[in-house]
Amino acid sequence: IFKNLLPSKRKLPPGPTGLPIIGNLHQLQGLLHSDLHKLSLEHGPVMLLRFGVVPMVVFSSKEAAKEALKTYDLETCDRPKLVANGLFTHNFKDIGFTQYGDFWREMKKLVGLEFFSPQKQKSFRYVREEEGDLLVKKISKSAQRQTLVDLRKALYSFTAGIIFRLAFGQDFHDCDFIDIDRVEELVKETETNVCALAFTDFFPTGLGWLFDRISGQHSRLSKAFANQSNFFQHVIDEHLKVGQPQDHLDLVSAMLDMINRPTKLGSFKITSDHLKAMMSDVVLAGVNAGVTTMTWMMTELTRHPRVMKKLQEEIRSTLGSNRERITEEDLEKVEYLKLVIKETFRLHPPAPLLLPRQTMADIEIQGYYIPKNAMIKINTYTIGRDPKCWTNPEEFIPERFLNSSINYKGQHFELLPFGAGRRMCPGMGLGINMLELGFLNILYFFDWSLPEGMTIEDIDMEEAGDLNIAKKVPLELIPSLHQA
Give the footprint of ligand HEM on this chain (CB under 6 A): 95-96, 108, 163, 281-282, 285-286, 289-290, 293, 350-351, 354-355, 417-420, 423-427, 430-431, 435
C-beta of 376 vs 478, nearer to ligand HEM: 376
- The count of other CB atoms within 10 Å of the CB of residue 246 is 9
Rounded to an integer, what is the distance from CA 17 to the centroid of its chain?
31
By C-beta, is 115 or 199 nearer to ligand HEM? Answer: 115
**147/133 Cα distance (integer angstroms):** 19
- We find the least distance from the C-beta atom of residue 275 to ligand HEM, in angstroms, to be 14
| Residue pair 440/325 in contact by the 8 Å Cβ criterion | no
DSSP three-state, residue 150: strand
The maximal CA–CA distance of the chain, rounded, in angstroms, is 73
> In terms of Cα–Cα distance, which of 478, 302, 310, 472 is closest to 399?
310
Closer by beta carbon to ligand HEM, 132 or else 290: 290
Q: How far is the CB of 293 from ligand HEM (least distance, A)?
A: 5
Other Cβ atoms within 10 Å of 264 Cβ, number? 11
Measuring CA to CA, which residue among 393, 382, 356 is closest to residue 61? 382
Q: Which is nearer to ligand HEM, 108 or 333 (CB)?
A: 108
Q: How far is the CB of 484 from ligand HEM (least distance, A)?
A: 30
425 assigned binding-site residue: yes
Contacts of 91 (CB under 8 A, 6+ apart): 273
72 vs 199, beta carbon nearer ligand HEM: 72
Radius of gyration for the alpha carbons in the chain, expressed in angstroms and rounded: 23
Tell me whether residue 281 or residue 343 sits nearer to ligand HEM (CB atom).
281
Look up residue 394 and give its amino acid.
E
Q: Which is nearer to ligand HEM, 50 or 423 (CB)?
A: 423
Dihedral angle of Cα 271, 272, 274, 278, to the nearest 10 degrees: 150
Rounded CA gap, 62 and 245, in Å? Answer: 50
CB 285 to ligand HEM: min, Å? 3
CB of 136: closest distance to ligand HEM in angstroms?
21
Nearest approach in angstroms of CB 474 to ligand HEM is 20
Task: Name the minimum Å distance from CB 219 to ligand HEM.
Answer: 28
Shortest distance, CB of residue 137 to ligand HEM, whole angstroms? Answer: 23
Task: Work out the number of other CB atoms within 10 angstroms of the CB of residue 229.
Answer: 15
CA-CA distance, 191 to 291, in Å (whole number)? 14
Give min distance, CB of 386 to ligand HEM, in A. 18
Residue number with CB closer to ligand HEM (167 or 221): 167
Closer residue to ligand HEM, CB minimum distance, 305 or 429:
429
Distance of CA 372 to the CA centre of its chain: 27
SS3 of the chain: helix, strand, coil, percent, to 5: 55, 10, 35
Beta strand ranges found along 123-185 (DSSP E): 149-150
Which residues in 80-111 are b (16+ Cβ under 10 Å) and which e? bebbbbbbbbbebbbbbbbebeebbebbbebb
Query: Which segments are annotated as binding site?
Result: 425
Binding residues for heme: 425
